[in-house]
Amino acid sequence: MSTGGRPGFCIGRMFHAGTICLVPVGLPARGKTFMSTKLSRYLRWLGVKTQVFNVGTYRRRMFGKSPDHKLFDPADADAMAKRNAAGDAAFDDMIKFFQSGGQVGIYDHTLTIMESKRKEIMDRLAPHKVHVVFLETICDNPKVIEANIREVKLNLPDYEGWMRTAVPVTDFLDRINHHVPYYQTLSDPSLTYIQVMNLGIDSNVGEHIVANNLKGYLQTRLAYYLLNIHITKRTVYLLRNAESVSDDTFKDDAPLSPVGIRHARQVHDFLVALRERTNEAGAPKYPKIFTSTRRRSHESAQFFPPELVTQKTSLVQLNPGAVEAMTDERIANEYPEEYARHQKDPFNHRYPRAESYHDLALRLEHVILELEGEKGDVLIIAHETVLRCLYAYLMDLEDKVCFCPFVI
């Protein structure tokens, strides 16, 4: 079947969910920007027009990078004036985003003086009928805080060119200490907020989540998504099914061809050798493996230990419907109107009796959530249409797709 076009994210408005401003709050190095990025990716995957407004990016654009840590002292009037200017510029752009049809804006700012800033944000958004949801990250584990600084914050443009020694870590800790005397945690039960306790890179960290006063479909969906995320590093391998005896047909549940069997064995050997070279001592020899329920998919994993392989119906390829096994030229001749619609909107268009890429993305959502929750490496073996959707999510692509062959 032809898979012409550019299946990417379907960005629009989820009208029944309202317009929302997500406001991450918390001391630095607690995972606010990490959560903002993850939530933006997930919401865009759902088809919600979402944008992150990172005040740090505005501050560097307006006042330059590599500032002295005193710029983050709330007691310094000149420093606060600069940071407020950056915050106002980001906020003004977010208002324009809402006015142009945006549905979820993420105002990524270090909001430590909560009582005044909280009311200001809500008052400024009220005329635009935007509901505010605060996302608070709390961490009281010094080891996790330092690990987060080394893992994430030292890669900020502010520290470009700095030697990776104790000096930049100390500088960022000074930033944090400027905020500590002013920080006020969320406690007002009338507010809408989600609190995440001890989100860190350690696989044992992430104690619990508190959800308060959430309303409606999208807000509760956010809380459910946050229950699954963590910062533990792992690798996701994407592998296209090996060749089957009737590789171009959807209806035939065909077994692997001799070439496909040889390919499956080579993949096993290659992956084992790769992990032996790159993994730390004591790391598992094999990743966890997800395949579709089609023979060409789970037989591609036949040389891996069977207890590691899980078959998932949702990983079955996009149903091509009436255009199964057709070339683009034949589709254009036999279904000219449908072909024209598909070229115009390849993500949402369905051929007769077929699925759209949007349909496929929706049935892949629970796989996305399971991937987010996995703390170990995962190998996904599936058809190219499925891998395109997963790749678009993992790489946070909008209106784009990777057309290169999918290999490990």
Domain limits, the chain: 18-227, 236-319+355-395
Reported confidence tier of residue 112, pLDDT bands at 50, 70, 90? low
Out of 63-72, 246-255, 300-309, which region has the weakest mean confidence (pLDDT)?
63-72
Domain over 18-227 is classified CATH 3.40.50.720: no
CA–CA separation, 90 and 59 (whole Å): 9
pLDDT at 60 over 50: yes
Reported confidence tier of residue 153, pLDDT bands at 50, 70, 90? low
Q: Specify the higher pLDDT residue, 137 or 268.
A: 268
Single out the residue of 296, 328, 315 nearest to residue 3, CA to CA. 328
- State the pLDDT at residue 295: 94
Single out the residue of 309, 314, 283 nearest to residue 298, CA to CA. 309
- State the pLDDT at residue 403: 40
Q: What is the distance, to the nearest Å, from the Cα of residue 193 to the centroid of all Cα atoms in its chain? A: 21
Q: Specify the higher pLDDT residue, 157 or 319.
A: 319
pLDDT at 284 over 50: yes
CATH number of 236-319+355-395: 3.40.50.1240
pLDDT at 399 over 60: no
Q: What angle do CA 97, 98, 100 make, to 5 degrees?
A: 65
Q: Specify the higher pLDDT residue, 13 or 22.
A: 22
Reported confidence tier of residue 174, pLDDT bands at 50, 70, 90? confident
- Does 18-227 match 236-319+355-395 in CATH topology? yes
Average pLDDT over residues 371-376: 89
Average pLDDT over residues 386-398: 87
Average pLDDT over residues 228-246: 88
- State the pLDDT at residue 193: 92
CB 126 within 8 A of CB 95: no
Average pLDDT over residues 96-120: 84
Average pLDDT over residues 353-380: 91
Out of 34-38, 46-50, 248-252, which region has the weakest mean confidence (pLDDT)?
248-252
Out of 43-52, 122-131, 265-274, 301-310, which region has the weakest mean confidence (pLDDT)?
43-52
378, two tokens: 């995962």
- State the pLDDT at residue 304: 96
pLDDT at 134 over 90: yes
CB 375 within 8 A of CB 288: no
- State the pLDDT at residue 67: 54
- State the pLDDT at residue 28: 75
- State the pLDDT at residue 5: 44
